[in-house]
Amino acid sequence: MTSEPAVPSPRATTASHGSRPICGVCGGADIESPVLGSLARCRACGFVFFPHTPDLADRVAALYAGDYFTGGEFGDYASQQPAFRRNFRAYLDRMRRAGARGGRLLEVGCAYGFFLDEARRTFDALGLDVNGAAIAAARARGANALRQEFLDFAPAAPFDVVCLWDTIEHVLEPRAYLERSHAVLDADGWLFLTTGDLESLIARLRGPRWRMIHPPSHLNYFSRTTMTGLLDRTGFDVVSIRSVGTWRDVANSLHLLALFSKTPLVKSLAGALDRVLTGRLPSIGFYLNLHDIMFVAARRRASA
């Protein structure tokens, strides 16, 4: 197994020009702000994002290098393993039906490596993440995982598949991540990702109170239109975009409601239950599909 490199220093953001924000998808400078609370929207392509500030890269690096998986946003990530594995098996089934059935696979943002565990039954799977504790846990179970920033990753050979599960919304440079995905994929390679859908009915009804809006953890807010546009700009052809439901853990759902609910009573009640039940509940899963998460399958074009 490859030795673990050090986490690189935070990358500079490209989504600002001096004090003036620019679009991280099309590079446009005609930006409407604020929208949906504290966000901004590109008038040229419609992409919605959290405006970048000089300290944002450091804030984001600190967020994911700390207790993100052990009391931060995810509460106790490891305890949710049964729910995550059910989701990942369903993702793999979708991938197989699309046509990705083997070869070299790269997961960007692999966390504890639960997807890698499922994927390595079919693929030669490698994962990357910047959180050292998560990578150590993945490697301890035998997963092939590296503590590595994806934009600095130079593989020895191309991959057949790249996966970004609930990752693209978190990164400072979404376009650069997809350009790098194109660069590390073999000809006709597959890209699969999941992220929130800003055009979904519930997102439009909830507006700034939509559950997915919580910067600086979520920085990028895609619709099917803006995701298709970004993939086209970075050398991919969209094969399909479908809504996807997920299995969730009861305890972690309470934790997330306590952190991010826009309804004070719900936030307070969830917080009280989270404090009382943390560490006392077994993993109890339930299925939820609000049709506001999209599963994207795309194919690499021969040239961008």
Q: What predicted TM-score, i.e. pTM, was given to this entire model?
A: 0.88
Specify the residue for token string 């620019």. Answer: 22
Q: Is the pLDDT score of 304 beyond 70?
A: no
Q: Is the pLDDT score of 18 beyond 90?
A: no
For 137-152, what is the mean pLDDT? 96
Domains of the chain by residue range? 56-245+289-300
pLDDT tens for residues 169-215? 999 999 999 999 999 999 999 999 999 999 999 999 999 999 999 99
For 13-40, what is the mean pLDDT? 81
* First-to-last C-alpha distance (Å) of the chain: 32
Which CATH fold topology does 56-245+289-300 show? Rossmann fold (3.40.50)
Question: Contact, 106 vs 162, CB < 8 A?
Answer: yes
For 114-121, what is the mean pLDDT? 97
Q: Which of 76-80, 140-144, 275-279 is the least confident region?
A: 275-279
Q: Is the pLDDT score of 5 beyond 70?
A: no
Check residue 279 and give its pLDDT.
63
For 54-59, what is the mean pLDDT? 93
Mean pLDDT of the chain: 88
**Which residues are within 8 A (CB) of 48 and not within 5 positions of it... i.e. 6 or more apart?**
35, 36, 39, 40, 41, 42, 198, 220, 221, 222, 223, 226
- Which of the four pLDDT bands, split at 50, 70 and 90, describes residue 16? very low
Structure tokens at 77: 């990530």
